[in-house]
Structure 1
Amino acid sequence: MARPRRRAAPVTSTVRGRGDGVGGIGATIRRVKQTNTAEAERPSLPSPLHALIARAIEGAGGWLGFDRFMQLALYAPGLGYYARESPKFGTMPHSGSDFVTAPELSPVFGQLLARQVGQALQATGTHEVWEFGAGSGALAAQLLGELGEQVRRYTIVDLSGSLRARQRERLAPWGERVVWADRLPAAIEGVVVGNEVLDAMPVQLLQRSAGVWHERGVALAEDGSFAWADRPTDLRPPLEVEGEHDYLTEIHSQAEGFVRTLAAHLARGAAFLIDYGFPEAEYYHPQRHMGTLVCHRAHQVDSDPLADVGDKDITAHVNFTGAALAAQDAGLQVLGYTTQGHFLINCGLLQKLELLPQAGRAQAAKLIMEHEMGELFKVLALGTADATWQPLGFAQGDRTHRL
């Protein structure tokens, strides 16, 4: 997987992840015209979050990189999407939720992932699970329920205070075995799990227009609404994008930084990152010229992150090659990479399906169906440099060679 390649310049029920990305035509420090319906319907009275972001734009000289905009829109304390009390996770829109993740879709997901986590705990001689971005707490409950006394401590790292409160309520049966961490210790010994974590990390947007690369940011329009604004940049995608056509894409400095940070703290154990995305050759394919950035609200997908800010999720697909290389550069090794479908089948899904009632079987099957979660979602396994064991989830269908 390690090969000469040009890296980006350093930076000083709807299944989430499906849908088309945002589009537009770049310009040199000029506003990009918005033509979609969602923008036309933006409220005239700014919300507190809108006002906060507007002040940030003004404080940055009138232009704010999209990664900073996305950070505020999702995580501004008390105001951002993930800081609010809305349900977010659920199978149907009438629950008030915006999208469904695998643990909410079927408890079979966590039950099968527990088999992999249990093997990893035994192989590494550890007894703690770390989960980043635990959402509703559904996955934690499934893992704890299956693993039993094999897990002595379950540590959750989550930026959202409102989600932490829900997690505490849901995980109360496990008492003091479940703890929440505000910062990482010098050394983590255990198994790390991250389900749909990388996709929610802010991304930078790059727009090639008339052969010139720009970074796409956010400015204020005359009426006070948010508007796209591009400016020339030395940033580039990690791969050359063939052709001369206009091209919009994302780069994932924060996600790759997260992987490097994880590598710096993981002294003994393994990590399993599950998300939707592609290897680099697919991610930066010439035909994917509209990027992957989308929003989710009430189980509907839209492509305007500048509208209804704070009321919907903003997400981008994961560049798994970038994450894997960041891990390798920081001293970890890739233990496996495959689709969620292959991973769950390797962990015993087909045998599990035979024991389920019809309704539960139909829901669990969505976890591996190609047009649902089976193909788009991937699993990346990382281990410390001394790891010599083979994770069972990658016994067949391993795609590490495609990274």
Structure 2
Amino acid sequence: MTAPNLNPSSELTQRIHQAIAQAGGWIGFDRFMAMALYEPGLGYYTNALQKFGAMPSSGSDFVTAPGMSPLFGQTLAVQVRQALQATGTDEVWEFGAGTGALALQLLESLGASVRRYTIIDLSGTLRARQADTLLKYADKVCWLDAWPDAIEGVVVGNEVLDAMPVQLLQRTRGDWYERGVVSAAEVDGLGFAWQDRLTDLRPPVDIDGEHDYLTEIHLQAEAFVASLAERLLAGKGGAAFFLDYGFPEGEYFHPQRHMGTVMCHQLHQADPDPLVAVGQKDITAHVNFTGVALAAQNAGLHVLGYASQAWFLLNLGLAERMAASSLAERSQAQRLVNEHEMGELFKVVGLTTSTDWAAQGFVRGDRSHRL
């Protein structure tokens, strides 16, 4: 395992410049994003900088749902328990487990129904934090660096797909270009700049209008889902639930969404420029849930449902849990379902190897027909 670097930006920047030079002076944004986030020991998710936390005073950059309220994981556990029973399995898998907060909430809620909890995470520093958080369940939790040949059980991924590298496509005066990154001279040294190259790549749907248009395609996320399907089908079966911000295809590639969705997060502030402070901030793109569902179906999985996070959690009893909680706890949990916060922007898609059961999280508000 590569040791984390406490001041990664300079070395990471140098390494990306080397990659650009070796590639002939230009790399696609997906390569840049992958290095910025995951370069061993240097990238945002593999260095030792603080990431998760409720307030910027902690040095953190953002808070996710499990850190916002323990009711998130407790409620999600209702769906996970049902899926374990429906698939006849006893293992939970989590991709990108962050601080370990969600794993702890699920393990505490699921008890003996989970024999093993497996985490696949690229970050050594986050893995150490997860191990501390999950010390009570050390006999159940294990970590993997790479995919196993088969997966049996229930897979969860909260804000995982949005952090997978995307390719940028720019339509300018009717022609399509792939937007990449080049080295560029700046006052204080060598920085990065955008450069577009003509490409045969296209968005999955035609974009109405003739205006200039920037968007993303999600080949890595779709390949990830296909690989997951292959391994679930190689085992005894299972299910997967992904919670993230995004849209179905028709909304994602709407003509008015002409600036794309790439966004950065640092100290609880959002900005649209991934070419500065490289390695010091998160880089994300919204999820094309239609692409995820199609990749899963093409690989042999079935879609259990697709709903807003609000409907999903309410179907699983969040309102009842909130009613039994303190005012402070209710206030925090409300953010999970408020339409102007996480409730509508965040969506949930459920996937499974069999169709002989109906997931409780989608009994109301299922939007699968919109995918």
TM interval, shorter chain, is: over 0.9
Greater relative contact order (CA < 8 Å, ≥ 6 in sequence)? 1
Matches of 1:117 and 1:367, distance apart in 2: 18
2: CA distance, partners of 1:361 / 1:203 = 36
User: Partners in 2 of 1:69 and 1:207 — Cα distance?
Assistant: 17
Which residue is 2:125 aligned to?
A: 162
- After superposition, give the CA deviation of every residue in 1:198-255 in whole Å (9 maximum; x if it has no partner): 0000000000001110000000113321000000000000010000000000000000
- Quote the residue 2:252 is aligned against: 283
Unaligned runs of 5+ residues in structure 1 are: 1-45
Shift of 1:114: 0.2
Q: Deviations over 1:63-115 (max 9, x none)?
A: 01000000000000111001111221111111111011000010100000000
Secondary structure at 1:270's aligned position in 2?
strand
Aligned to 2:207: 241
Distance 1:53 1:109 in 2: 38
Alpha-carbon displacement from aligned partner over 1:4-54 (angstroms, at most 9, x marks no partner): xxxxxxxxxxxxxxxxxxxxxxxxxxxxxxxxxxxxxxxxxx700000000
2:3 corresponding residue in structure 1:
none
Percent of aligned positions that are identical: 66
Separation (CA, whole Å) in 1 of partners of 2:145 and 2:39:
16
1:147 corresponds to: 110
Report the counterpart of residue 222 of structure 2 in structure 1. Answer: 256
Residue 125 (structure 1) shift: 0.6
Please give the secondary structure, in 1, of the residue aligned with 2:312.
helix
Alignment partner of 1:389 is 2:352: no
Q: Where does residue 131 of structure 1 map in the other structure?
A: 94
**2:333 alignment partner in structure 1:** 364
Alignment of 1:324 with 2:293, yes or no, is yes
Distance in 1 (CA, whole Å) between partners of 2:117 and 2:267 is 31
Whole-Å separation in 2 of the counterparts to 1:167 and 1:86:
15
**Distance across 1 between alignment mates of 2:365 and 2:250:** 19
Report the equivalent of 2:4: none
Amino acid at match of 1:389: W
Give a deviation string over 1:266-289, Cα, whole Å, max 9, x none: 031100011000000000000000
Counterparts of residues 1-400 of structure 1 (less than 5 Å): 47-223=10-186, 224-267=190-233, 268-384=237-353, 386-400=354-368
- Letter of the aligned partner of 1:388 in structure 2? D
Number of equivalences: 358
Corresponding letter in the other structure for 2:224:
F
- Structure 2 counterpart of 1:278, which letter? F
| TM-score for the superposition, normalised by structure 2 | 0.95
Q: Which amino acid aligns with 1:230?
A: D
Q: Check whether the contact 2:163–2:284 (CA below 8 A) recurs between aligned residues.
A: yes
Contact 2:131–2:138 (CA under 8 A) maintained in structure 1: no
TM-score, normalized by length of structure 1? 0.88
